[in-house]
Amino acid sequence: MNSEGLRFLSGKMWEDVEIGEPGDGEIRVRNKAIGLNFIDVYFRKGVYKAATMPFTPGMEAVGEVIAVGPGLTGRKVGDLVGYADNPMGSYAEEQILPANKVVPLPPSIDPIVAASIILKGMTAQFLLRRCFKVEPGHTILVHAAAGGVGALLCQWANALGATVIGTVSTKEKAVQAKDDGCHHVITYKEEDFVSRVNEITSGKGVDVVYDSVGKDTFQGSLACLKIRGYMVSFGQSSGTPDPVPLSALAPKSLFLTRPSLMQYTTNRDELLETAGEVFANVASGVLRVRVNHTYPLSQAAQAHADLESRKTSGSVVLLP
């Protein structure tokens, strides 16, 4: 398409849209692979509010630069680039992007693999390395340990020397979590994760909980923490957690944060450093990416349904 991009809307239809030519500081990218993330579901459901309506979902993709805005240096036609986070709209064959929001893709990494790991990998990076700096000797709890971000958190934390406890929904996912570096796996449908964490840690609790589940796990996650432990709530796949009074944190002097990737990649240097560490860990084998599911972009609605019903594990990629 010369002047149009094909985008996916509302899970039900395709629409041709004029996307024009890149302006100052912009590039036009033809997407090769698009990452599916739970944040896409949040926007679709209205948990997070889109800036405009209607909107095109998607916050992660890898593609080829097919046009460069006037006077732009550092990017050229034919470059393979990836991006994650804003601007939203990656559920499309082509899109216009700010050049300072994309990162160069190392030639050693397959575009489908890259599209599945840029957003999730950068999320794991800031959670483990900056939000709470995991070091040897720490004990951590990762909910949804077989999910896209959860699997990377377990692999990376294990490589950092932490003791990793993971929760999963099925025995099949427990096998994967073990393979991803979990030292202890809790199948939460069969046992109470708070009691098991207490047993595993001999009543001491964990240094940090990484909780992307939200409502169903939040209170239990707080109960699993040791004194001065860190509660990192970075998602809410089961719904928004109930409000927490500050007094609930006082008995153990707990820390509570609700971080977002965009606040940890606020400038170009942070973005390149975060993505660079992810790509380096993929290249070294620390991070092993499972693209367990691919769907045509036209079947994005089914992909969302499967993700929400926990039928997926690892990463999900949409192919234009």
6-117+290-318 topology per CATH: Quinone Oxidoreductase; Chain A, domain 1 (3.90.180)
pLDDT at 2: 35
Residue ranges covered by each domain of the chain:
6-117+290-318, 132-258
pLDDT at 72: 86
pLDDT at 130: 96
pLDDT confidence tier of residue 11, bands split at 50, 70 and 90: very low
Examine the pLDDT at 310 and tell me if it is beyond 80.
no
pLDDT at 14: 67
pLDDT at 158: 98
Examine the pLDDT at 256 and tell me if it is beyond 90.
yes
Which residues, other chains included, contact 27 with Cβ-Cβ below 8 Å and sequence gap of 6+? Answer: 65, 67, 68, 69, 72, 75, 81, 96, 97, 99, 102
Two tokens, residue 186: 């809790």
Examine the pLDDT at 9 and tell me if it is beyond 60.
no
Instruction: Give the separation between CA 28 and CA 96, rounded to whole angstroms.
Output: 4
Examine the pLDDT at 162 and tell me if it is beyond 60.
yes
Percent above pLDDT 70 for the chain: 95
Instruction: Give the separation between CA 4 and CA 60, rounded to whole angstroms.
Output: 20
Mean pLDDT, rounded, for 122-146: 96
Asked if the domains 6-117+290-318 and 132-258 are classified in one and the same CATH topology, the answer is: no
pLDDT confidence tier of residue 53, bands split at 50, 70 and 90: confident
pLDDT confidence tier of residue 290, bands split at 50, 70 and 90: confident
CB atoms within 10 A of CB 210: 31
pLDDT at 13: 59
- For residue 31, the one-letter residue type is N
Mean pLDDT, rounded, for 104-110: 92
Confidence (pTM):
0.87
pLDDT at 4: 44
Per-residue pLDDT of 54-74, as tens digits, reads: 888 999 999 999 999 998 888
Mean pLDDT, rounded, for 166-187: 95
- Average of per-residue pLDDT values in the chain: 91
Pairing of strands 206-211, 225-233: parallel
132-258 topology per CATH: Rossmann fold (3.40.50)
Mean pLDDT, rounded, for 79-93: 91
Examine the pLDDT at 244 and tell me if it is beyond 60.
yes
